[in-house]
Chains A and B, each alone.
Chain A
Amino acid sequence: MKVKVLYFAALRERLGTAGEEIDLPSGVSTVAALRSHLRGRGGAWERALADGKLVRMAINQDMAPPSASLKAGDEVAFFPPVTGG
Chain B
Amino acid sequence: MKIRVQREDFDAGAEMRALSRDPKVGAVASFVGVVREVGMTLEHYPGMTERSLERIAEQAKGRWQVLDCTVIHRVGPLEPTDQIVLVAVASAHRGDAFSACEFIMDYLKTQAPFWKKEAAGWVEARASDDKAADRWR
The reply to whether the CB of A85 lies closer than 8 angstroms to some CB of chain B is: yes
Which of B18-26, B91-99, B122-130 makes up part of the contact surface? B122-130
- Check if A82 sits within 8 Å of B84, measured CB to CB: no
Give the size category of B's interface with A: 20 to 34
A residues 52-85 near B (Cβ < 8 Å) are 54, 58, 61-63, 77, 79-85
Contact status A82-B48, CB under 8 Å? no
In the bound complex, do residue B115 and residue A8 qualify as a contact, i.e. CB atoms below 8 Å apart? yes
Report the Cα distance A13→B115, complex, angstroms.
13
* Contacting residue for B115 out of A58, A77, A79, CB 8 A: A79
Kindly provide the distance from the CB of B128 to the nearest chain A CB, expressed in whole angstroms. Answer: 12
Q: Is B125 a contact partner of A8 (Cβ separation < 8 A)?
A: no
- Judge whether B124 and A83 touch: CB under 8 Å: yes
Q: How many residues of A contact B (CB 8 A)?
A: 18
- In angstroms, how far is the closest chain B Cβ from the Cβ of A15? 13
State A24–B85 Cα separation when bound (angstroms).
Answer: 39
Given contacts A9-B115, A9-B117, A79-B113, contact A84 B44 (CB under 8 A): yes
B37-71: which residues lie under 8 A (CB-CB) from chain A? 42-45, 47-48, 51
Chain B residues, CB < 8 A from A54 = 125
Asked whether A85 lies within 8 Å of B114 as measured between CB atoms, the reply is yes
Q: A8-B115, A58-B48, A61-B45 are in contact. Are A82 and B122 (CB under 8 A)?
A: no
| In the bound complex, CA of A63 to CA of B51 (Å) | 11
> Which residue numbers of A lie inside 8 Å of B, CB to CB?
6, 8-10, 13, 54, 58, 61-63, 77, 79-85
A-B contact pairs, 14 of them (CB 8 A): A6-B45, A13-B122, A61-B45, A62-B51, A82-B112, A82-B114, A83-B114, A83-B126, A84-B85, A84-B109, A84-B112, A84-B113, A85-B85, A85-B108
Residues of B within 8 A of A (CB): 33, 42-45, 47-48, 51, 73, 84-85, 105, 108-117, 121-126
